[in-house]
């Protein structure tokens, strides 16, 4: 457990924040530091075929230690951290034997990790909690997953009595900006299936996610001196207001949950002549997802009929799809995780992700890839924390999945 904590803290302290405005891969130069550190660590524990490509993707192999013909499985995690909160000078703090009281993160800023606001803290009384000092995020998303995978491989190497097939591990940049799977070499990885260790609380197992699309809406107006604008000016902002109001008020992120989809206006800017609206569309059901895209096109047609041709321009771009479509035909990749959890006394929490994951994109690239818990909570901000015992359970689960795969599918 001490080594696992040591690994995590070392990775957490490396600033590896990604940048959505970059056109390079990795999107930031600083991500190379942790990538190279991972190469070094993987070689030190005895992994084989350790390599890093020109995009910063790290791959390695743990050879099989059984003569049986066992499917090749993989474990994947991303090493970048979210761009929406500082990842500089991360200073992890450790609370041993947590007593259920408030944890003062930063007295000067008045930041307190309190069970009165975060009641889930009560679930970790008596455990060891790693948290931030209030000046940055922690980076448990997904450096907890990285530490767990490395530690699990180290454990398997040191315990050859645990029989397993060939295991591939992969660490990638830029997941937080939606590009983690973009340059992942599925063919080179060579696994029959894999797992992203990128979930939250113990027991989480996810093989459903949103279908997703981004929508750019341009509303064209006509700017005329306001003193002479009668029957001439077309104010794009006012048309935009009507456009926004035409959407269902109860189909937004703040009014939906579970399997309910939504339209989300997340950015807008404009003046009289041009207003731009940026939406995302999300839905678990593929047909409903397609219907939501059609709704945008119908809106554009309706507004162009009302205000004139070319007033509204809509551009849609699919982002990712529900991985369930690819996982259901190979449901054994999920079943084996459930069985491994039960063996370890972990209650499986099978739920849908109200978001996306590298695993979704990888599944559609030919690598079925459910998502498994890594243990962290309150990601992407100063209130982020991770119980050490949760990381340990994730590490043990990786080992158990490898062992059960060999027993169940070995020929």
DSSP class per residue in 269-313: EE-SSEEEEEEEEEESSHHHHHHHHHHHHHHHHHHHHHH-TTSEE
Return the structure tokens found at 179: 């590009």
Exposed e or buried b per residue across 316-350, where buried means at least 16 C-beta atoms within 10 angstroms of its C-beta: beebbbbbbebbeeeebbbebbebbbeeeebebee
- What domains can you pick out in the chain, each with its CATH number? 2-208+322-409 (3.40.630.10), 211-318 (3.30.70.360)
Size (the chain), residues: 411
* Structure-block tokens of residue 370: 């459910």
Asked whether the bond before 308 is cis by omega within 30 degrees of 0, the reply is: no
Partners of residue 84 on adjacent β-strands: none
DSSP code for 294: H
Contact 32, 26 (CB under 8 A): yes
Cβ burial 30-44 (10 Å sphere, 16+ → b, else e)? bbeebbebbbebbee
Instruction: Give catalytic residues, as residue numbers.
Output: 80, 175
**Does the N-terminal peptide bond of residue 26 adopt cis geometry, omega within 30 degrees of 0?**
yes
Helix (H, G, I), strand (E, B) or coil at 401: helix
**What's the pTM?**
0.88
Question: Number of C-alpha atoms within 13 angstroms, CB side, residue 95?
Answer: 22
Tens digits of pLDDT across the chain (411 residues): 899 999 999 999 999 999 999 999 999 999 999 999 999 999 999 999 999 999 999 999 999 999 999 999 999 999 999 998 988 999 999 999 999 999 999 999 999 999 999 999 999 999 999 999 999 999 999 999 999 999 999 999 999 999 999 999 999 999 998 889 999 999 999 999 999 999 999 999 999 999 999 999 999 999 999 999 999 999 999 999 999 999 999 999 999 999 999 999 999 999 999 999 999 999 999 999 999 999 999 999 999 999 999 999 999 999 889 999 999 999 999 999 999 999 999 999 999 988 878 899 999 999 999 999 999 999 989 999 999 999 999 999 999 999 999 999 877
Q: Which of 268, 249, 244, 252 is nearest to 354 (CA)?
A: 252
Cα dihedral value 40, 7, 140, 394, nearest 10: 100
**Do 143 and 198 form a contact (C-beta atoms < 8 A)?**
no
């Amino acid at each position: 457990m001490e080594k696992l904590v040591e690994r995590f803290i070392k990775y957490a302290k490396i600033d590896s924040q990604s940048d959505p405005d970059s056109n390079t891969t990795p999107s930031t130069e600083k991500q190379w530091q942790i990538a190279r550190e991972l190469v070094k660590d993987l070689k030190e524990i005895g992994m084989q075929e350790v390599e890093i490509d020109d995009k910063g993707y790290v791959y390695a192999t743990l050879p099989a230690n059984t003569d049986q013909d066992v499917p090749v499985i993989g474990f994947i995690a991303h090493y970048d951290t979210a761009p929406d909160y500082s990842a500089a000078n991360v200073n992890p703090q450790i609370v041993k034997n947590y007593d259920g009281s408030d944890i003062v993160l930063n007295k000067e800023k008045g930041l307190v990790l309190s069970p009165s606001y975060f009641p889930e803290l009560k679930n970790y009384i008596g455990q060891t909690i790693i948290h931030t000092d209030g000046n940055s995020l922690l980076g448990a998303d997904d450096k907890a997953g990285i530490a767990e995978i490395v530690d699990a491989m180290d454990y398997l190497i040191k315990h050859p009595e645990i029989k397993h097939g060939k295991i591939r591990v992969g660490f990638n940049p830029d997941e937080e900006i939606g590009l983690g799977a973009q340059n992942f070499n599925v063919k080179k990885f060579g696994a029959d299936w894999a797992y992203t260790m990128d979930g939250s609380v113990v027991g989480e197992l996810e093989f459903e996610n949103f279908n997703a699309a981004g929508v750019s809406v341009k509303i064209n107006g006509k700017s005329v001196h306001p003193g002479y604008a009668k029957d001439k000016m077309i104010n794009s902002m006012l048309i935009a207001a009507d456009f926004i109001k035409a959407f269902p008020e109860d189909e937004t992120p703040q009014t939906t949950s579970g399997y309910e989809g939504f339209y989300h206006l997340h950015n807008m800017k404009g003046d009289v002549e041009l207003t731009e609206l940026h939406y995302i569309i999300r839905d678990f059901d593929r047909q409903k997802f397609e219907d939501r895209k059609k709704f945008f096109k119908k809106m554009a047609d309706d507004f162009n009929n009302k205000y004139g041709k070319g007033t509204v321009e809509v551009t849609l771009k699919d982002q990712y799809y529900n991985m369930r479509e690819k996982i259901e035909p190979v449901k054994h990749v999920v079943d084996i995780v459930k069985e491994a959890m039960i063996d370890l006394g972990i209650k499986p929490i099978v739920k849908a992700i109200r978001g996306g994951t590298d695993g979704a994109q990888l599944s559609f690239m030919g690598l079925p890839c459910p998502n498994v818990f890594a243990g962290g909570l309150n990601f992407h901000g100063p209130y982020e924390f991770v119980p050490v015992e949760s990381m340990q359970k994730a590490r043990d689960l990786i080992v158990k999945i490898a062992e059960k795969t060999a027993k169940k599918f070995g020929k």
